[in-house]
Structures are given as structure tokens and as C-alpha cells.
A and B are shown apart, each in its own frame.
Chain A
Amino acid sequence: MNFDYSDDQKFLKNEARKFLDGNCTSAHVRKVLDNADLSYDADLWKGVGAQGWLGAAIPEEHGGLGLGRVELCAIAEELGRACAPIPFASTVYFLAEALMLAGSDAQKAKWLPKIAAGELIGAFATSEGPGVVNAANLQSNVVGGKLTGVKIPVTDGDIADVAVVLANEGGKPGLFLVELAGAGVTRETLKTLDPTRSVAKITFSGAAAERLGDAGEGFALTEAVFDRAAVLLAFEQLGGSDRCLEMAKDYAMDRYAFGRTIASYQAIKHKLADIYVKNELARSNAYFGAWALNVGAAELPIAAAAARVASSEAFWFASKENVQTHGGMGFTWAVDCHLYYRRSRQLALVAGAPKVWKERLVQQLERRNAA
């Protein structure tokens, strides 16, 4: 039994933490939070690229480090803990994973080295309005290699160079690669719950689009990309949840009320114990997702769903109870609790809400039962 990070992976994780402790402090996150014109921390983005993290799981032949997905999970955990305000997920968990999953040799050769080198930012564009996009309501359409439609919200859509877009072509749903600097693309930055991550509305009016993967497979490929992203996002969520528990503990130990530290009251102790229990269940489910992703196991869909459900629930709970433990101070802009409260929502929604994943999980159980 070998169900934990290896020593090398722990070392990598520790190095990542050290780097982020210096380069992604609360002040760095707040710079993006407080400046409406700033979509991400460009210095941190460069630094992360220089560390090689963008290409951690990209094969060496395409300019990456060729490490496994578990190494990428270790990095993700630290990015989540630091609440990093960079388009890492959009570029690495979505664009790079979509390319590695469905890209032709030419597409991989063209884009993966640029991702690994930190030369481009990616985005993944599926949603078109409130609720879940599906075959019945998908409007975006490609005719003769030109894309028309509106995608909203697109995380990092305002700063991305390349987007993977879900659209119909000849009545068949597919994924398409679109260069966003080209003609026929209008972008508008949106106000969101988490201003430390950027979101756009993108209007395509005849933008050049190149299919990624097979025609007709748009929804299946989207689900497959979401499965991969869900595991990696789960580690960001886990890192955030752990940080919330630490913050709540540190505050409770040092806050006195009625003549003693509030950490000695059972109401607080049990609250923090509840956070701990949820975090550990999430960690175990996330590890299983990491294993499934790393070896390409048939269990990936159910493992990803369980990881996403557990981590989304854990981070939400930890982030809201962290505010509560801080009392009135927790409700101020100056204290960091709201950074994680906001990020917990961003991460829980970006690859589809937990309710959707619960349904996917049960469908997997039904399939397993039928088999």
C-alpha cells in the first residue's frame, strides 16, 4: 500500500510552499483583489513559469518536465493554499489537459511547448448562460471554420491567448481551439464573487476555429476534461481548506473572551474538529482521484466526482466557519477570511457545481451496478 505522496513529491510540495510563501503573500493576492484593472499577478505568473510548474505534467518531448499528475496535484495543493491569483487552472488543468487528451500531434506540438514555457494563457469556454449547457441549449456554432456565439462566463477569458470552445458544427457538438487575439473576438471583463480570478464574456463573430478531437464528441470530451480538471481543482480546494482550518485555529488560540481563549470552548473546538473531519475525507477522496488521473484508470470519472464533491463541500464549510470563528473581525475586508470564502465559490463553480457532480457520481454508480 502506497497511498500518499512519495518523499520526492513531498519535497516538491515543500519547495512549492517555500516559493509561494515568498511570492504569493496575502499582499500579492490583495493587489489583484483591490485593483479592478488587474486580472492576475503577472510577476507571480512569470515566477511560476520559471519554476517549471506550467509544464510539470507536459511530456518532455513537448518542452515539459514530464512528471506525473500526482506531482501536479502537489503543486495545485500549494497554489490553493496560497489563494494564488493566476490563470494556472485555465492554462494547465483545462487547456493543456484538453490538448493532451484530444489534440492531434500537430496541435500538441504547436501549443504544449508554449504552455510549458509560460508563453501563453489558456481558457475553457463551455457555459452560455445560467444553468448547465447541454445539447438542447448549446447555441455557439461553427460554419466553414468560423465560430459564432457568446460564451459567458469564461474564466481568464479576458487575458487568455487561446480558448477551447464548445460549439456545434454541422449539428454535431465539438471542441474547438480559438486564438483570441484574432479577428471576430470581443471580450469584456465581468464582476464576480472572486475578483482575484478573472472572468470574461466572449463574443465570437466569425472567429477562426480549429477542431480539437472528433466531431460529435464535444460533450464527451468536455466531461473528460472536467474529470481531469476536477481532480486537480480538488487539490487547490484542499489546500484552501487546510489553510482555513489553520487560520481559524490560530485566531481562536489567541482570542480571549470571558476570561479564556475561545479555543477552549467546545463550541469552537467541535467546529474546528468538524472542519478537520471534512478535510481528511476530502484528502482521501482527492488522493484517489490523483491516482486514477495519474494512471489513467477506468475509475477516473467516479473518482473525480467523489474528489470534487468532497473537496467542494470541505472548502465551503471550512471557509464559512473560518469567517464565523473570527467573529466580527472575519467580516472585515482587512482580514483574509473572505479571500478563501470567495475562492471556495470560484473553485466550486468553475468546473460545474457540486450538485451536477453528485448526479454524475450516481450515474457512475448505476453504470457500475449494471455492469
Chain B
Amino acid sequence: MDFNDSPEEAAFRIEVRTWLEANAPQKVDTKKMSEPEILKLAKAWQATKAAARFTCMTWPEALGGRGATPIQNVIYNQEESKFDVPRGFFDIGLGMCVPTVMAFANDETKQRFVAPAVRGEEIWCQLFSEPSAGSDVAGLRTRAVKDGDDWVINGQKVWTSGAHYCDFGILLVRTNPDVPKHKGLTMFWIDMKAPGVEVRPIHQMSGGSNFNEVYFTDLRINDSQRLGAVGDGWKVALVTLMNERLAVGGSTGPNYAEIMALARSTVTEDGNALANDAFREKLADWYVQAEGLKLTRFRTMTALSRGQTPGPESSIGKIISANQLQDLSNSAIELEDQFGIITDTAIAPMEAAFQQSLMWAPGLRIAGGTDEILKNIIAERVLGLPGDVRVDKDVAFKDMPTGR
């Protein structure tokens, strides 16, 4: 048992580090930059990576990758994370959407789209969730109606990351409401700049707008934009979602070290708050959880390094990290006592990091699978417990009861 690279891994790590040192852009303070300015930097960096084949590394060479092993991919990401490079814009497109295109599109479409996406020239988004279809995404209502060689699309998608700067998207729609919900879906790719597509930012409870709603009004697309057979959309979507765990990164935000620093500088009647017994017990719990998650990732890496498929233990990450962030943030603002209510970054401790994470954490517990859905996944796929009773399994979609 050790944490060492194998000789091959160590050599690759040095190769990566050397390349990054020579090529990574100079550190810039992106806090003061606008999103389009950051995006410009991100695209330039993506092009540099693509030229050296340090993106989509596990893909075959013909598609822009280098046929790397998963552990080499992990090593690259570890090393890149030590540099202050703009990131995050391409994860969903290259992690989920383009692999779906690669799996289901014809050669001509692949030729057209894969390379520009790898180089960061075009960005893709994923259009699945709807206001009435979240955890139960197969209950979606956006309709596509056949009209000659075309399809006409009407409806609304929601929680679409990056829709406002994306060039293309993969879109899951209902093509047949007369059959049970999973059987009447079809997948297409669309041009996000086409007439009939309107992107509006969502105003989140946190105050920010990191996601979008996307409205379709008589959007007309050709049947050649279909991915997979008519009615096979669910099967295609599963291929996309299979990649989700890989594409959705770990959560960020203050952890045990930050709240420890806060406690040390917070005065209570017993001295500083770090002297408080109840607080110390919680601090230990947070440390044990955070270390447990980090070490669980090491176990996943070990499996990759040994050429094995990682076990299901990686599925526990978001449940723990999102809940901990919420709990820790709340403890922090209570530690600040009356002062904890202040969100002004110039006044609140640590530039209001805990107030911000308190308002962001509820979203983390929902995005990419709610706590409840993730527990179902663990129960069913890891432990092998039976699925829930499905009352909608044999009912035509149009006859299903609907509420909100």
C-alpha cells in the first residue's frame, strides 16, 4: 500500500509537468474579468492543449486524442490543477455531448463537429432537464413533430449550463406521446444560434445566474440532425448520462481548514471559538469526511492504475461533499454570531465565503442527481436492491397524471 506512481506513471507526470511549465498561460486575476474575456482565454488554452493532445486524452488519435489510459488522464488533471488556467467551459461538451455525437452520428457529422469541439472553437451544451422533468427526465414534454424531412420543435429546457455561450447542443425531445414515456423520445443535435432558440438566464436563489432556460418556438431542424433512431432517445441519453459522473467535477467551497481559521480568529466568551468542545467535535467530523473522500478518490485511482474498472465507491462523493458544505457553511455563520448575517464581501470574514457557500450549497445537493436519486442509485446499482414500483411504466405518456 503506497501512494507512489508506477515508473511509467512517474515518467508521464514529468512529461506533463514539463509541458505545462512551458505552455500554461501566465496567472491572471479572472475575478475582475467578464465572462466573454475569460472564455477567450479558455478557448486559447484549449487550442494549445488540443495541439499537444492534452485534451480528450483517452480518445483515439484519429479523433484528436492520444489513446491514453484513464490514469494518465487523472495525472494530467492533477498536474493541470496546480496551474491557474481557465477551465470548466468544455467539460460538459467534451465529457458528455460530443461522445454522444461520436457514438450515434454519421461520419459526415462527426467529421464536421468533433475536431472543432476538441480545439475549443465550438462549445456544446446538454438539453435534457425541463421544468416538469428533473429526476424523472424521461417525463419531458418538449415536442418534436415531423413535417416532411424536418422536425418542428416547441417547448422549454432548464438548468442548461453555458447555453448562452454554446454553439451547439444535444436535445432530447418527445416524438411520440402515445407510447409509454421512455419509448417516445428521440435525440437530436441543434444549432444554438438557429431562429426559434431563445436562451434566458435563470435567477438562482444564490443571486447569481450560472444556468439558463432555453425556449424553443417552432424550431425547424432537418431529420439528418437525429442521433439514433426515432423512439430510441432514452437509450442515447443513457450513453450521455453514463459520462456525467466523469464530467461533473468535485465541489468547491470552504472546507475544514477554512472554518478552523475562522474559529481561531473568532472570539467567544471561552476565548477563541476553536477552544469550544462542541465545535472541535464537528471539526473532527468534517476532517474525517473530507479525508475519507480524498482517500476514496485514491482508491479509484488505484483501480485505474491497475487497469481495473473503479468500484462504485466513487458514487458517494457528491452526497457527502454537498451536505458537508451546507452544514459547515451554516456552522460558520453561526460562529460569527450576529455578524454572520452580513454578506458584504468587504465586511464579512473571508470575503463572505461562508455566506456565499451557504446559498450555493442547496444547488449542489440537487445538480447532477439529487441526494435522494444518488441514494437510489447506490441502493439499486451498488447494493442490488430492487427498483421502485413504476406506476407509469405501461401508461401512454399523454395519459399520465401531471401536476406541476
Contacts and interface: CB of A to CB of B under 8 A. Distances in A.
Interface in B319-365: 319-320
A2 B292 contact: no
Given A309-B288, A362-B280, A287 B385 contact: no
A282 B285 CA distance: 12
5 contacts: A2-B1, A2-B2, A270-B376, A291-B1, A359-B277
B316 interface: yes
Contacts of A280: 292, 296, 313, 316
A281 B386 contact: no
Interface residues of B, number: 52
A365 B375 contact: no
A264 B389 CA distance: 8
Contacts of B383: 245, 249, 269, 272-273, 276
Interface of B: 1-5, 9, 71, 256, 260, 274, 277, 280-281, 283-285, 287-289, 291-296, 298-299, 301-306, 313, 316, 319-320, 372, 374-376, 378-380, 382-389
A253 B299 contact: no
Contacts of A309: 284-285, 288
A253 B4 CA distance: 41
Contacts of B387: 264
A281 B301 contact: no
Interface in A241-278: 245, 249, 252-253, 260-261, 263-264, 266, 268-270, 272-274, 276-277
Contacts of A276: 316, 378, 382-383
Nearest to A309: B288
Nearest to B371: A270
B294 to A, nearest CB: 8
A1 B289 contact: no
- Of the candidates B287, B305, B382, B385, the one having the most CB atoms from chain A within 10 angstroms of its own CB is B385
B342 to A, nearest CB: 26
A177 to B, nearest CB: 32
A285 B301 contact: no
Given A269-B379, A270-B379, A361-B284, 18 more contacts: A1-B5, A1-B304, A1-B305, A3-B301, A249-B383, A249-B385, A263-B385, A263-B386, A264-B387, A269-B385, A272-B385, A273-B376, A273-B383, A276-B382, A281-B289, A284-B291, A359-B280, A365-B283
Nearest to B277: A359
Contact of B298 (A3, A263, A270, A294): A3
Contacts of B284: 305, 309, 357-359, 361-362
Contacts of B256: 365
A369 interface: yes
A340 B288 CA distance: 23
Contacts of A359: 277, 280-281, 284
A285 B291 contact: yes
Q: Is the interface of B mostly helix, strand, loop or mixed?
A: helix
B1 A4 contact: yes
A2 B386 contact: no
B4 to A, nearest CB: 7
B389 A285 contact: no
Contact of A270 (B71, B280, B295, B372): B372
Nearest to A261: B386
B316 A4 contact: no
Q: Is the interface of A mostly helix, strand, loop or mixed?
A: helix
Contacts of A291: 1-3
B292 A282 contact: yes
B295 A284 contact: yes
A294 B378 CA distance: 32
- Of the candidates B71, B288, B313, the one having the most CB atoms from chain A within 10 angstroms of its own CB is B288
A290 interface: yes
Contact of B388 (A266, A294, A366): A266
A287 B313 CA distance: 14
A251 to B, nearest CB: 12
A310 B292 contact: yes
Interface string A1-42: 111111000000000000000000000000000000000000
A306 interface: yes
Contacts of A268: 385
A210 B389 CA distance: 68
Contacts of A310: 288, 292
Contact of B303 (A4, A274, A285, A305): A4
8 nearest CB pairs, A to B: A281-B292, A269-B379, A358-B284, A284-B295, A273-B375, A273-B378, A3-B298, A1-B301
B388 A2 contact: no
B295 A287 contact: yes
A92 interface: no
A264 B388 contact: yes
Contacts of B293: 281, 284
Contact of B302 (A4, A273, A358): A4
A3 B385 contact: no
